[in-house]
Amino acid sequence: MPLRLATFNLESLDFDPAAPGWFETRALALRPILAELQADVLCLQEVNAQHRAGEAERTFLALQKLMEGSVCDGFHLVHSVRPGGDGPADVHNLAILSRWPIAAHGQVHHDLAPALQWTPLHGGEPIAITFDRPLLHARIAPPNGPQLHLVNLHLRAPRAAFLPGARENGRWRSLSHWAEAYYLAGLKRQGQALEARLFVESLFDEDPNARFAVCGDLNAEAYEAPTRILEALPEDMETAEFAARALSPLERRAPQETRFTVLHDGRPVLLDHILASPALAATCRDVRILNTGLADEARVREPVQGSLHAPVLAIFD
């Protein structure tokens, strides 16, 4: 039987007990997409966690409600936790849903790539440039095939990062303050792509023929540095020596006219990716991007119905 793997940014999926009707509006927009995907394994980004009365840790109430009555009802779930903590963060957690049992899972956050120390150019004490979120990995055991390793990733958006003293009364103190903060955002994005690539190298070290995929919202198109660090394609390395460790960008197998996951001010961009190891890529038979009717993120009115990202689906033998 085929294996259907998808990645989907749920656009800050949340639940407010004071406004349950709005959640249902979003669920009505999202559940048909889940039904069309018919995914066996689903990598999700931007899953918010909610407080329940009497409970110390946040729980995934919104995700649980979305799954109820959907094609993913009853799936196994693992998720990221707040770095340095035991429970999920309030916003933008990562989650992996699987039809089959998840044999093992964990996360990586500055375990392979240490945080950089940066001295602000306008003065002040050095600060640590840390990644916004961990990466989530899982090992899944389908009933009639080899194990599947997954890395779920959501890289920093190209938006100016926090810089102490750079803003005053909600405004940038100068253009140079903003430029420095924007540069730091790039360091976060490329640095975490490096850490993910180092984790991929560890998987190859364990098994050169491992079947795995790096899935998620990279906030980068195919030609940008984070994607290229992860792919490590021979044309970028200028050698075929390490071709057996390159990751294949499966989304580029979708029809050219559908090859985008976000619309930004009328411009289609491909920010969401499924990058597969050679052993897994060799079994891929179809790739689809479900972007029909996708709203333009620069023109849509808040609050957002559904998601401003289109999911990517890969189907394997």
In the chain, what are the domains? 3-316 (3.60.10.10)
pTM of structure: 0.96
For the cut 80, the answer to whether the pLDDT of residue 57 exceeds it is: yes
Element (H, E) at 75: none
Q: CA triplet 82, 193, 253: central angle to 5 degrees?
A: 115
Q: Give the whole-angstrom CA distance, residue 41 versus residue 113.
A: 28
Q: What is the pLDDT of residue 309?
A: 98
- 268 pairs with which residues across the strands? 263
Mean pLDDT of 96-111: 97
Element (H, E) at 299: none
Mean pLDDT of 193-218: 97
Q: How far is CA 231 from CA 115, 214, 281, in A?
A: 22, 10, 13
Which amino acid is it at 297?
A: E
Q: How far is CA 236 from CA 123, 240, 242, in A?
A: 37, 10, 11
Q: Per-residue pLDDT tens for 231-276?
A: 999 999 999 999 999 999 999 999 999 999 999 999 999 999 999 9
pLDDT-derived band at 230 (thresholds 50, 70, 90) equals very high
Q: Per-residue pLDDT tens for 214-225?
A: 999 999 999 999
